[in-house]
Chains A and B, each alone.
Chain A
Amino acid sequence: MSAPQDTFDADTSNRSWWERLRAFQQDKPHLFLLLIMVMVPLFLMNPSTWAVLTLSGLAMGAMLFLMASGMTLTFGLMNVLNLAHGSFISLGAFAGATVLTMWLNDYTSGSLWVNLVAVVPALLFALVVAGLLGVLFERLVIRPVYGDHLKQILVTVGGSIIVMELLQVIWGSNEIPVPRPEALRGALLIRDAIPVIGGIALEKYRLLAVVLGLAVYALMLWVIDRTRLGILIRAGVENREMVEVHGYRIRLLFLAVFVAGSALAGIGGAMWAMYREIITAHMGEELMISVIVVIILGGLGSVRGCFYGAMLVGLINLYVGFLEPRLAAVATVGLMVAVLMWRPQGLIPVIKV
């Protein structure tokens, strides 16, 4: 990895900007695309709108990252395509909403502190419930169909129907409103934030989403890059058999990753619930499309790619949604098709599919 970097640095002096740009586009396609994605809309709208949209896009991207990272790791590590991932998102949303509703009803005082703290148990509960379902799901649904993609697709689609129906048994089939804590409503107004642009209003909840997303991303990168568990995961993505030959039980490793991924999907779902303030059992199914686009964009199995893919999808959704709302979904899928034509393995490919 570092070898091309060296040569790149060595002779920058006698290269034209065009060549440098091409080298950049070759070496860092994810940054290149993100840069273009952020810069182009700047010419199409006024700067303060752009700033607000960019933050919203990043917030949406952060939540998508939470939801998608588990699925990409599951695929990368164990070659398992879990199309029921969306039902974990829904479950997290309902679990989080339940805690929030109870908590906020008990403490109607509206105290700022209680309000803010209510988010934590809600997210934790979503994490635990989705994680537990993950254990069950891995044992009952996925374990019998390792190594058979066709059956995985069928069984996980069936599993997602069952989970989705059970959610409706427990929480009813109607939409449920989700209270967002008072402390997270409204926006932070920053006057004269940037000289030319002037004041911008940053919605608090979106800031929280971005911060949480970045925190989880940093944590995941740390685990994957710096810890023994991370080395194992990366090794497993590359060659499962050799991990076993070294004496590690890859099934156990996979169970851990699957549960972690489910738990993250749960948190993502809970965050999304507070963001939209209304949820249905089918929300996970609808989000699955974005999640799938994200993991394809990033390159299946790559956490870094997943992060950039999520940001790209979040941004294009918001930008296009502002310019021509009807085309938001089409633009998202169009982005995916375009990237696939450019780089069939995704932005940061990890494994050959």
Chain B
Amino acid sequence: MKRWTWLAGVLVATLLAGCGSAGTPVDPAPVGSADRPMPADTDVSGKLEQGGSSAPSCNPRQSLRPNGSIPPESTMDAIKKRGYLIAGVDQATNLWGFRNPHTGELEGFDIDVVKAIAHDIFGTYDPNTIRFKAINSAERETVLAGGDVDVVVRTYSVTCERLQKVAFSSVYFEAAQRVLVTEKSGIENISQLGGKKVCAAGSSTSVNRLAEAKPKPKPVVTNNWTDCLVLLQQGQVSAVSTDDTILAGMAEEDPSTRVVGPPLSEELYGVGIPKGNEDMVRFVNATLEDFRQNEWRDRFRHWGLQRVLGNQNPPKPQYR
């Protein structure tokens, strides 16, 4: 009899062991979260280089009086002899300076300005008389200082600080810094962006103004404006803040976005010219006189800028 009791004990123990929990099922490939990709050199640190506003105050609208003649030995004469105008432009900003993905050709409002200048130098329009050099925002001053280009037409705001290093033509477009958000975000004003991530391209006037906004947003700095649109589309920033002209191009590419808020600043676009080429400044101003009179409204409508910017008139030039 005794022999059977211990066997019964073992059986009971086995059954009890079988009833207990055996732990949780193994997760064979645990992945907590996925890292979203980011454009190269995106700075999310939120730190900004404060641009030293040591420049003396000036009137950025004022430029030299126009003169459309091409005297021998002038800068324009040298360009004419060379056979082509070298223009520093943007290749990635929709509506202003961008390469049409279908044709591979550069197009945009800024490109139209370059074509007008080339037309006036060479007398006729011929694509071979222009050599475009694609540059980014940070390179604008460098290529002008190095004499690599004759003109820079690249949503280039005239500022007193820049006037120290670069000569500018008269103003050919008036823009204002605003904010691009997705339609469903419900954001109407930059004051609603406090603590949220807002994208701007480095070495631009917009990025400095972000630092002044109150309540302060978290700036995300990229190399190019298109990278900001990528970040907005990928949901990594809440807004893009820059000139309404550039934002208009982004809104054109993505119908789910809106340009909102009051103007934060006044941006005056001029043609950048190497400092010292005063004859060229006067010549470009003469071209712009004609451009503002005749082509401006047509190009404005052609690029559909009225859809975001409303109806505008060409700016009135001021001369010293």
State whether these chains interact. no
* Chain B residues within 8 Å of A, Cβ to Cβ: none
Q: Which residues of A are at the interface with B, using a C-beta cutoff of 8 A?
A: none
